[in-house]
């Protein structure tokens, strides 16, 4: 009985530690007698004591590595510091375990050399404005180079580009000058538009004043014409009334005297009047004859 208990204890000591549960998004690389045997995915597994061992525990999640800034030299011999971020994923745990020694360090060195090669073909201005080009080229090169290591490079991002201090100061001066130039252009355009609006306003105002003056003169002329027409109509009406009344010699003589009186009240300095009333009567007779002729 005691021997059975001892055997059970020994079996438990040997079996229980060799029962392994692989979690989700993990993979275990198993060696048997020093050689690759299998890759365990998530779930329950049992390894043979003294024969099997776990060579590597690999995560299948996407890994993000932010590498330190690297000194690079552009085509126009400007030295700058550039740091990158690499997003990669282990697709083959066996290749990742046996393909390269220290894969993360290998990726970092490969990223640095690839970055130097790409930047060496670009000038400073192209480097500052070609982040997408640099990212796509690096991703393509790194993905191809790391494929034998069981690694898939999903994305590469240039995080910071730091030119030398003197270059930064020159760029700041250039940007400041460019902003001042744009400000001057905008101010000049604003003043130009303002002057145009003022001139157009003055032009429209002058046109409106001229139109108003024209309308005023037209109205004034129409008023004078209408007044003159009314006067002439009144005179014609008066003559008509006189003709219709058939005035005698005395009335004509009296009207002639009234006319002379009105002429005397005017501004004339000399007035010629007949020397006797007989001439006035004669003038009245003449007017009467004229009125008769017009009536016929």
CA–CA distance, 108 with 100 (Å, rounded to integer): 13
Q: Mind listing the pLDDT tens digit for each residue in 147-198?
A: 999 999 999 999 888 888 877 777 777 778 888 888 888 888 888 888 898 8
Residues 250-279: b if buried by 16+ CB within 10 A, e if exposed: eebbeebeeebeeeeeeeeeeeeeeeeeee
Domain ranges of the chain: 2-59, 62-163, 165-244, 246-265+272-296
Q: What is the CATH number of domain 62-163?
A: 3.30.479.30
- Span 114-136, average pLDDT: 89
Q: Mind listing the pLDDT tens digit for each residue in 225-249?
A: 888 887 777 777 766 776 666 655 6
Please state, as a whole number, how many other Cβ atoms lie within 10 Å of the Cβ of residue 127. 24
Name the token pair of 138.
């690096």
284 neighbors 252 (Cβ within 8 angstroms) = yes
CA–CA distance, 16 with 31 (Å, rounded to integer): 19
Q: Which residue has the higher pLDDT, 227 or 37?
A: 37
Longest distance between any two alpha carbons in the chain, whole Å: 189
Q: Which residue has the higher pLDDT, 124 or 272?
A: 124
Q: What is the model's pLDDT at position 277?
A: 46
pTM: 0.57
Q: Measured between alpha carbons, how far is residue 118 from residues 115, 196, 222 in Å?
A: 5, 53, 89
């Amino acid at each position: 009985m005691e021997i059975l208990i001892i055997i059970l204890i020994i079996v438990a000591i040997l079996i229980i530690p060799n029962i392994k549960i692989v979690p989700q998004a993990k993979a275990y690389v198993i060696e048997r007698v020093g050689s690759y045997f299998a890759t365990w995915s998530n779930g329950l597994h049992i390894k043979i004591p003294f024969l099997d061992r776990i060579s590597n525990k690999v995560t299948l999640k996407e890994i993000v590595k932010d590498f330190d800034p690297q000194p690079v030299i552009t085509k126009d011999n400007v030295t700058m510091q550039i740091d990158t971020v690499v997003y990669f994923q282990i697709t083959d745990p066996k290749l990742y375990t046996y393909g390269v020694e220290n894969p993360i360090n290998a990726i970092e060195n490969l990223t640095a050399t690839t970055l130097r090669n790409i930047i060496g073909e670009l000038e400073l201005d192209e480097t500052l404005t070609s982040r997408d080009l640099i990212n796509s080229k690096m991703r393509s090169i790194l993905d191809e180079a790391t494929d034998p290591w069981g690694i898939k490079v999903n994305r590469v991002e240039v995080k910071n580009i730091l030119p030398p201090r003197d270059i930064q100061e020159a760029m700041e001066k250039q940007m400041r000058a460019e902003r001042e130039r744009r400000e001057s252009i905008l101010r000049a355009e604003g003043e130009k538009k303002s002057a145009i609006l003022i001139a157009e306003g003055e032009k429209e105002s002058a046109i409106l004043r001229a139109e108003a003056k024209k309308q005023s003169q037209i109205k004034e002329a129409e008023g004078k014409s209408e007044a003159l027409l009314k006067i002439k109509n009144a005179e014609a009406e008066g003559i008509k009334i006189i003709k219709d009344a058939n005035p005698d010699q005395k009335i004509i003589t009296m009207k002639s005297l009234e006319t002379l009186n009105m002429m005397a009240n005017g501004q004339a300095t000399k007035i010629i009047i007949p020397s006797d009333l007989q001439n006035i009567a004669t003038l009245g007779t003449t007017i009467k004859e004229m009125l008769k002729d017009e009536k016929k």
